[in-house]
Amino acid sequence: MSQNPPTPPSGPNEPGLPPLPPQQWQDPAPQGHWQQPQPHPGYPNEPGQPGQPGRPPKKGLGTGAILGIVGGGLLLVIVVIIVIAVVVSRVFAGAAGGDSGGGSGSGDSGTASETVEAFFTALSDADSETALGLISQAPDDDTLLTDEVLAASNELAPITDVAIVDDTTENGYGDVTVSYSLGGTPVTAEYSVDDYDDDGWKITGGLSYLNVDRFDGLGLTVNGQEVSGTEVQLFPGTYQLATTLPNFTLTGTTTVTATEPFGSVDVGDIEPGLSDAALAQFRTLVQSAVDACVASTTLAAGCGLELPATLDDGTQLTDGTITRSISADATVTIQNMVPTLSYDNPTLAQGEFIGSVSTSGQCTQNGASGTCDVLFGPSLGAPSIDMASANPTVLWD
């Protein structure tokens, strides 16, 4: 049986608009639900009018959108904070400086030129800790790298008028040339610098070397500090060499300067020697030894004057009958002897060759006995004495 479709609901048209076309009725959905008629395109419905659906209500943002916006805002704030922290940390790092590779003081003084200036300022202030803190590597020997030694250096010749002449640094390394006055004497030197670790510019090396092997055992002091071994390191400055042992002196240019980074201080003009009292003692000891040996009547007289019982030609000498004597020239040689100190053993004073000794004695040759002169017999050689010994003894070469 057929059934007419129901008449669709209608409402009053809005004044001034053409009449709405009739709505087309559609069959109910298979599930038997009623389908809401759609509004006519192009004719907005006004809220509150009967028969027309109103505008859909505005909806707020979903939870996901809100979280996304909040998260993005927080991320932006975090990025800003990180940027500020990095900038501030770099500013403070530049001001405070990094740790030293060669000392306990602060090593960062800003630019390479400022580091070299700070180094020389520390030297002039006798501040060894700060000076060492501006050097990239720890020294091999720090015996003379002290405030006391620096203070003595400044008294001998103060460091003044420090000025940077040239700065050729880039990419973390280079050279800085500095000029200064050392006790009124102008000095210009070039210092290598580096900033490989971005912890502040440091001076590469910056120290000089002093070879003290030549003075080993002499109680050597440098600016009042006793040193030993073969080599020590020095800050730029002025140094006085001396000895603490009373038997020894140093002559020549005993005040030296260190002005070249990695350079060796010239001590070639310094000669160790015996004090006046030690020189007199040396001559007395040699003369006493010669007198005792010459006075001996035995074959084994000592002082290098020993004789064999049988000479090369078969002559036999009678022990206890030997007579020896030295010339006047030999006596003068002993009285005027000026020994030198051994290069390998500076405490060993070495005299010069004295000369021949006249020798005779009772002898037997081809069954005949008598007094024989020993021709081409042993002579007195060169005496040596360790003048640092508590019991100095004459040795013979």
Q: What pLDDT shows up at residue 137?
A: 87
Q: What pLDDT shows up at residue 110?
A: 84
Query: 3-class DSSP state for residue 291?
Result: helix
Q: What pLDDT shows up at residue 237?
A: 98
Q: How far apart are CA 336 and CA 372, in angstroms?
A: 33
Rounded to 5 degrees, φ, ψ at 155 are: -70, -35
What is the tally of helices (H) and strands (E) in the chain? Answer: 6, 21
Q: What pLDDT shows up at residue 196?
A: 82
Amino acid in position 188: T
Q: What pLDDT shows up at residue 65?
A: 42
pLDDT tens per residue across span 198-225: 889 999 989 999 999 989 999 999 999 9
Q: Which residues contact 5 (CB under 8 A, 6 or more apart)?
A: 25
Q: What pLDDT shows up at residue 37?
A: 45
Q: What pLDDT shows up at residue 271?
A: 92
What DSSP string runs through 27-84? PPPTT-PPPPPPPPTT-PPPTT-TTS--PPPP-PPPHHHHHHHHHHHHHHHHHHHHHH
The ranges of the chain with pLDDT < 70 are 1-109
What DSSP string runs through 321-340? --EEEE-HHHHHHHHT---E
Amino acid in position 35: Q
CA dihedral for 323, 326, 331, 337, sign (positive or negative): negative
pTM passes above 0.75 = no
Chain centroid, CA 113 distance in Å: 19
pLDDT tens per residue across span 189-198: 999 999 987 8
Query: 3-class DSSP state for residue 284?
Result: helix
**Token representation of residue 110:** 């800003």
Q: What pLDDT shows up at residue 6?
A: 45
Q: What pLDDT shows up at residue 36?
A: 45
314 DSSP β-pair partners? none
